[in-house]
Amino acid sequence: EPEVTQTPSHQVTQMGQEVILRCVPISNHLYFYWYRQILGQKVEFLVSFYNNEISEKSEIFDDQFSVERPDGSNFTLKIRSTKLEDSAMYFCASSGDDRQAFFGQGTRLTVV
Amino acid sequence: AQSVTQLDSQVPVFEEAPVELRCNYSSSVSVYLFWYVQYPNQGLQLLLKYLSGSTLVESINGFEAEFNKSQTSFHLRKPSVHISDTAEYFCAVSEDNAGNMLTFGGGTRLMVKP
């Protein structure tokens, strides 16, 4: 069964450092997403990406965040200058036209 | 804007007992509804979905959910739970005019006891 793959599974970074979270969506999907889940809180939408551009983004997705699909297979989330409150589980997801989103296993980001 | 409420943060239940996990949503437009399950230390897996058609939808492992438009609910049920059903369950909504963005409820931790 096709799956969304995320790397790394766990990343520890110092406050102020840049991090890049990587995702390989399902190959024939056209829509890509990032969500995050702060420990003990809801899963929150960050951004959606379609046709090589951002289609929607939430208030959380400020100038510190960016997404890219650099090579037609990977989908990355970059946080330019991490803050303690960026510590969370970050989920990548992808979907086709049927609105069924498939999620990756997540990357646990810990900012120290 | 849509919102999703899962009234129970935790539901303890004995093995082989029935269970219902409640989900209510608010939206002014047509919605699509989903239940995702998260097993310990794993990602989110789609359990079942309502997009259109029959309001009762079923999963392959015995769960079912019914879309009730008048009550704006999409409760998840299983007539007899197993230890292996212990997990966090998330209800999610996508609005018809909001692309494919999902809004999640706070989650319900189902704890099945022997």
pLDDT in tens, B14-63: 999 999 999 999 988 888 999 999 998 788 999 999 988 888 888 888 99
Range of weakest confidence among A6-15, A87-96, B35-44: B35-44
Instruction: Look at residue A106 and tell me whether its pLDDT is greater than 70.
Output: yes
- Mean pLDDT over residues B68-92, rounded? 95
pLDDT class of A40 with cuts at 50, 70, 90 = confident
The per-residue pLDDT for B52 is: 84
Residue in A48, A102, A105 nearest the CB of B101: A48
**pLDDT per residue over A47-70, tens digit each?**
999 988 999 999 999 999 999 998
Angle, alpha carbons A60-A37-B78 (nearest 5°): 130
Structure tokens belonging to residue B96: 């018809």
Residue in B43, B92, B94 nearest the CB of A105: B43
Q: What percent of chain B has pLDDT over 90?
A: 73
Q: Give the closest-approach CA distance of B42 to chain A in angstroms.
A: 6
- Partners of B98 on chain A (C-beta within 8 Å) are 56
The per-residue pLDDT for B1 is: 63
Q: Which residue has the tokens 């692309």?
A: B99
**Contact assignment for B101 to A44 by CB distance below 8 Å:** no
* Averaged pLDDT of chain B: 92
The per-residue pLDDT for B91 is: 97
Mutant choice from A90, A102, A103 vs B, greatest count of B C-beta within 10 A: A103
Question: Distance between CA A95 and CA B63 in Å, rounded?
Answer: 23
Instruction: Look at residue A45 and tell me whether its pLDDT is greater than 70.
Output: yes
pLDDT class of A74 with cuts at 50, 70, 90 = very high
**Contact assignment for B107 to A48 by CB distance below 8 Å:** no
**Contact assignment for A48 to B104 by CB distance below 8 Å:** no
- Phi and psi, residue A21, nearest 5°: -100, 135
**Contact assignment for B105 to A42 by CB distance below 8 Å:** yes
Q: Which residue has the tokens 């990343």?
A: A11
Chains A, B: CB contacts within 8 A come to 57
Question: Distance between CA B74 and CA B56 in Å, rounded?
Answer: 9
**Contact assignment for A101 to B46 by CB distance below 8 Å:** yes
CB atoms within 10 A of CB B15: 14
Which is more confidently placed, A52 or A18? Answer: A18
Mutant choice from A43, A45, A56 vs B, greatest count of B C-beta within 10 A: A43
The per-residue pLDDT for B51 is: 87
